[in-house]
Structure 1
Amino acid sequence: MKNQKAGAEPKPTKERIFDVALELFSQKGFDAVSVREIAREVGIRESSIYNHYKNKEAILDTIIDYFMNELHQSVFSEEEESALLEESPEAYLQQGARMYMESINTPQMEKIWRLVSIETYHNDKIREFFKKELLDAPIDIWENTFRMMIEKKMIKPLNPRTLAHEYFSFPIYLFFEYYVLRYDEDFNSFIEMAMEKMVNHNEFFLNAIKI
């Protein structure tokens, strides 16, 4: 485990367990890490883990809960959504992309994204989480957004579900590019690159569907 910064207050044991478990899970995968290994890296007895978490699965559940809470921070309120849509569809998409990128541009979120990408292949709980929260839910949100844009006569009267799939396929591509193909490259560089690509994608997409 990395040393605490000089003069910094030590984190509570539960938070240290969380940090170490996430680090190990993101490097090796959930099944390859034991409670004993987590305890050893934290510097506590194995039995002490159970004073804070029921089992290893409970640590994973806490990580996923943290992940979802951070993602929800990047969602517009109804007032913000309405104001941005009134301004322009460009403002809505660009601000949404920026909020989303900022929400994942942290070491903790990077590790969780990597963990999710690893575990999707052989962990049923993670696979269902990925499908429900990272695919189905965003598609539903974007379908509703494009429906509102159509009603406001901002874009062509196309199928909003199809628009949602077409639009959201690009963020999924970015996810695959970094967390599968370029996972060992500098994260800040990726965010800068990804944001530029999202801006270009938004401009291209809106030019194709605007009235």
Structure 2
Amino acid sequence: MAGDTKERILETALALFAQSGYLGTSMHDIAKELGITKGALYKHYASKQEILDSIVERMNKMDYERAEAYEMPETEPDGFAEAYLHTPIAKIRTYSMAQFDHWTKEPFSSNFRKMLTLEQYRDPKLAQLYHDYLATGPTKYMAAIFRKLTDSDDAAMQLALEFYGPMFLLYSVYDGANEKESVAPMLCAHIDRFIAKIESGYRKPHAEGA
């Protein structure tokens, strides 16, 4: 029962953070939304920072479980790049679509993204989280994957930007769309075009030389 209460607190707090921002939400606001006293709230979480830390911890757990569920390689960047070359295209495509759904359709992670988007210019620590989860982090991760497919770090970064840039933009397109299901075909088309480029220009030479 206590675990259910702590989970409810996290979800309620994050929904408020996504709406009013982390800095704009108080422990009083969270308790009021939950219909409990501040004293009862403090029995579960000593501070708003502790709530945020627990949210980040859950996000990290969700990331790991999702990668495991889709059987994506869990190695260091160099090893991942090698594994990526031998990962079926269908699996890469499915995982990329799952990532997009994770950040747009799943309430917890979607609210986490919205909170970081609101706070990226107001709090240095939250700005760092924004870059780690949504901007610099994913781009560098993809560049590390593509490094073995190219002849330079700059070329790998260009591939990463080509792949992740449109996906990042489509988060905002999704948020503003009246018919949100219309965004999925755009994402599919982008991923298919990119994979076709990789197949014709990068993966085949490596496969022939293997």
Q: Is the 8 A contact 2:45 2:51 kept in 1?
A: yes
Moved over 4 A (4+): 81-84
Map 1:40-79 → 2, pairs under 5 A: 40-75=32-67, 76-78=72-74
Residues 1:108 and 1:78: Cα distance change in structure 2 (over 3 Å): closer
The question of whether the paired residues in 2 share the 8 Å contact of 1:84 and 1:91 is answered with no
1:64-97 Cα shifts (integer Å, max 9, x gaps):
2222322333331359x77774365x43541221
Question: 1:142-187 deviations in whole A, cap 9, x for unaligned?
Answer: 1232234459xxxxxx8212211222111111123234xx1xx56x
Q: Which has the higher helix share?
A: 2
Which secondary structure does the structure 2 equivalent of 1:74 belong to?
helix
- The answer on 1:195 being equivalent to 2:178 is no
SS of residue matched to 1:77:
coil
Indicate yes or no: 2:12 matched with 1:20: yes
Q: Distance in 2 between matches of 1:196 and 1:109?
A: 22
- Show structure 1 runs of 5+ residues with no match: 1-8, 152-157
**What is the TM-score with the length of structure 2 in the denominator?**
0.74
| Secondary structure of residue in 2 paired with 1:32 | coil
1:34-75 CA-to-partner distances (Å, cap 9, x unmatched) read 211211222222122222112112112222222232233333
Q: Does 1:163 align with 2:152?
A: no
The CA distance in 2 between the partners of 1:87 and 1:17, in whole Å, is: 39
What is the one-letter code of the residue matched to 1:72?
Y
CA distance in 2, matches of 1:47, 1:116: 28
Identity of aligned residues (%): 24
Tell me the CA shift for residue 204 of structure 1: 2.2
Letter matched to residue 118 of structure 2 = I
Point out where structure 2 has 5 or more consecutive residues left out of the alignment: 202-210
Q: For the residues of structure 1 that align with 2:172 and 2:195, how far apart are their CA atoms?
A: 23
Q: Distance in 1 between matches of 2:74 and 2:49?
A: 35
After TM superposition, the score normalised by the length of structure 1 is: 0.74
State the distance in 2 between where 1:83 and 1:29 align: 39
Aligned residues: 189
Instruction: Let me know the Cα RMSD of the aligned residues.
Output: 3.0
The one-letter amino acid of 1:203's match is: D
